[in-house]
Amino acid sequence: MSRPTDYFPYKNGVMTVDGVSLNAIAECTGTPVYIYSARGLLDPLKALQKGLKGLDHLVCFAVKSSSNVAILQLLSSHGAGVDLVSGGELHRAAIAGVPADKVVFSGVGKTPGEMARALDYGGNGIYSFNVESEPELRLLSSVASHMEKTAPVALRFNPDVDPKTHPYISTGLKKNKFGLNRAEILKIAREVSKYPGVSIRGISIHIGSQLLSLSPLQDAFKRVRALLEELEDILPTPLRFVDLGGGIGITYRNEKTIPIPRYCELIHRYFGPKAGLRHPMKILIEPGRSISGNAGILLSEVLYRKQRKEKDFLIVDAAMNDLIRPSLYGSHHEIVAVSRKTGARKKTDVVGPVCETGDCFGSDRPLPRSLDQGDLIAILSAGAYGFAMSGNYNSRPRPPEVLVAGGNFEIIRERETYDDLVRGEVLPDQTCPRPEAAS
Ligand SMILES: *Cc1c(COP(=O)(O)O)cnc(C)c1O
């Protein structure tokens, strides 16, 4: 599993990506800017694909972690499918040219409009709707029937993995909003004829994110296996696939992560040819962070050093609107000087210009004292849930995105302009008086 600096090594004292110095990119684009390494994105994808060899499998990149169409196209051209959670993401998949039979659609709140678009995607519709509730299944069945189509469905199973042994798991618990429990799934299976517009083809799970141990996954896999057995006896047609979700963690600081080969071995053990399934099943996984997380950084320039006795503040030109994870979850991102500095260090808070105390990328970091106005810093491990979660708070245009491959870099999203900020906003039309307000 990759570390934050693997794809951003120092050469002659300057941080680089695929042979390109970050200074050169900043000169061209200005700062702040998101920078992604193509190799950083592809290496984990290839490792997962290699690990799943011998199984009929598909790695579906979780679009919500890093949604730029150029990134989707790159991953898709190397065999990845996509896991979506909205109609907007479906639109991105279409632009990136992701084939319909490699698209799965997750999420608890799909609208009829989103369902219809996904049923039309590429003509014959997407590979699977991962359905999270009975009312959703009913609606999907009716939308598909009206379109004279059959919607392929995987029921999302909430395996209720024991919270005592695995306190950090956030989506695979009874109390979470996600998925259907065993009883609900069995009930649906017994009453499939009530849903004529759908065809139940698989089971999906996704138990949480930034998982650092295999044991919750193993628990979940066991429960999926047991459920599959039960369903075989109930469903009129055999299931064709299992979607095991995403969630593999990455190293942000010094966390020990699950090695991809071990993760894949576990999948083989529970769902592979020797796993004792009644018939072979296709295996899907939905990794997001483990593909995009350490492939990207946020590059920013120091605006000011504010000196205090006990610690200094570095005010940088990136802010919480660009990368919200530290403010939102208190997450750790390594922060480094792009040009290596020697000499004394001092406790430093790295903060942005936004008017919120929470606009802080890191507290009490031992950074070089000589780091000052005009110097570049890199906020690492920002490829997942970075740009994808950015916004315009404080009316700050969002940064550009750059993809580096084969020693070349390309701007894959332009910096937003002030006009972009007010696009769609309207000044009330003075020439067209409104009807008088009722008194
Ligand atoms: C968010 C999400 C993923 C990806 O999670 P990562 O932790 O980024 O791997 C996969 N599947 C579903 C259903 C999700 O909601």
Query: Which of 211, 280, 192 has its CA nearest to residue 242?
Result: 280
The atom of ligand 1 lying closest to the CA of 171 is: 15
Is 263 in the same domain as 320? no
Evaluate whether residue 77 is within a structural domain: no
Pocket of ligand 1 (CB under 6 A): 62, 64-65, 83, 85, 106, 206, 209, 245-247, 286-290, 384
Q: Average pLDDT of 280-287? A: 97
pLDDT above 70 (res 238): yes
As to burial, measured by CB atoms within 10 angstroms (0-12 exposed, 13-18 middle, 19+ buried), residue 41 is buried
**Per-residue pLDDT tens over the stretch 85-124:** 999 999 999 999 999 999 999 999 999 999 999 999 999 9
Q: Which DSSP state fits 314?
A: E
Residue with tokens 């939308």: 143
Evaluate whether residue 362 is within a structural domain: yes
Is 259 in the same domain as 383? no
Boundary residue ending a domain (285, 306, 327): 285
Is 126 in the same domain as 267? yes
Rounded CA separation 329/332 (Å)? 9
CATH number, domain with residue 385: 2.40.37.10
Is 332 in the same domain as 281? no
Q: Place 431 in a pLDDT band, splitting at 50, 70 and 90.
A: low
Evaluate whether residue 112 is within a structural domain: yes
Is 117 in the same domain as 264? yes
Domain with 359 in it: 10-35+293-422
Mean per-residue pLDDT over the chain, rounded:
95
Is 205 in the same domain as 322? no
Catalytic residues: 355
Give a three-class secondary structure readout of 42-85.
Answer: HHHHHHHHHHCCCCCEEEEEEHHHCCCHHHHHHHHHCCCEEEEC
Evaluate whether residue 64 is within a structural domain: no
Q: Place 429 in a pLDDT band, splitting at 50, 70 and 90.
A: confident
The atom of ligand 1 lying closest to the CA of 292 is: 8
Is 280 in the same domain as 379? no
- How does 193-202 read in b/e, with b if 16+ C-beta sit within 10 Å? eebebbebbb
Ligand 1: residue whose CA is nearest its atom 10: 246
Boundary residue ending a domain (285, 302, 322): 285
Pair 296, 250: CB distance under 8 Å = no
Residue 371 φ then ψ, to 5°: -70, 120
Q: At what angle do helices 87-96 and 69-77 cross, to 10 degrees?
A: 60
Evaluate whether residue 371 is within a structural domain: yes
Is 273 in the same domain as 316? no
Q: How far is ligand 1, taken at its centre, from the CA of residue 108, in Å? A: 13
Evaluate whether residue 139 is within a structural domain: yes
At residue 2, the pLDDT reads 79
Evaluate whether residue 384 is within a structural domain: yes
**Per-residue pLDDT tens over the stretch 363-393:** 999 999 999 999 999 999 999 999 999 999 9
Rounded CA separation 39/75 (Å)? 11
342 Cβ contact list (under 8 Å, min separation 6): 368
Is 257 in the same domain as 327? no
Rounded CA separation 179/107 (Å)? 9
Q: How far is ligand 1, taken at its centre, from the CA of residue 288, in Å? A: 6
**Per-residue pLDDT tens over the stretch 123-169:** 999 999 999 999 999 999 999 999 999 999 999 999 988 655 555 55
Is 21 in the same domain as 113? no
Number of domains, the chain: 2
pLDDT above 90 (res 19): yes
CATH number, domain with residue 263: 3.20.20.10
Is 141 in the same domain as 280? yes
